[in-house]
Amino acid sequence: MHLRLTADPIDTNAARRELLDAAAGACVSFEGWVRNFSEGREVTHLEYEAFEALAVREGERVIAEALRRFPIKHALCIHRVGDLALTDMAVWVGVSSAHRGEAFEACRYIIDEIKHRVPIWKKEHYLDGDSGWVNCESCAAAPRHSHAHHGSVE
């Protein structure tokens, strides 16, 4: 599977090895980290929850699209679920290719599509004791479909 969910810390060295290819001259990876602020509020920790069967299926489609759209060799995404602390890695995306240009583009494509399409949800816990599901709590009052988001992970 090219998109995996894990409750354990992401082993980036092992993940990177899966991208190795004698014809690859470039590897680009992206790491999403848990940050201590979100839309002006101080964040203390996060929770991720996934609808695993569909997340894996949709993630697989995203990576298949990247492999079709860009001349890359390999691509892989690993996403955490469960409780995460500040500075933890929430997501890792890696792409290998002959040259760096397509690896950068494909990596960007994969993380952007995953954030918008894959059924994974994030709950932010704030310093003041409050908490909320990102993109869900304010929508009842003001529906937003753009999902423009400046939350606690990039």
Binding site for other proteins (CB under 8 A): 32, 48-51, 53-55, 57-58, 79, 90-91, 111, 114-123, 133-137, 139-140, 143, 145, 147, 149, 151, 153-154
In this structure, the dihedral spanned by the alpha carbons of residues 16, 18, 19 and 24, taken in order and rounded to 10 degrees, is 120
What is the closest distance, in whole angstroms, from the C-beta atom of residue 101 to other proteins in the complex?
23
Whole-number Å distance between alpha carbons of 135 and 145: 9
Instruction: Pick between residue 2 and residue 79 the one whose CB is nearest to other proteins.
Output: 79
Secondary structure (3-state) at 112: helix
Minimum gap (Å) between residue 146 Cβ and other proteins:
10
Q: Closest Cα to residue 121, out of 29, 48, 53, 54?
A: 48
Min dist. Cβ of residue 30 to other proteins (A): 9
As beta bridge partners, residue 92 has: 31, 78
Nearest distance from residue 132's CB to other proteins, in Å? Answer: 8
Q: Which one, 16 or 123, has the nearer CB to other proteins?
A: 123
- Spatial contact of 107 and 26, defined as CB atoms under 8 Å apart: no
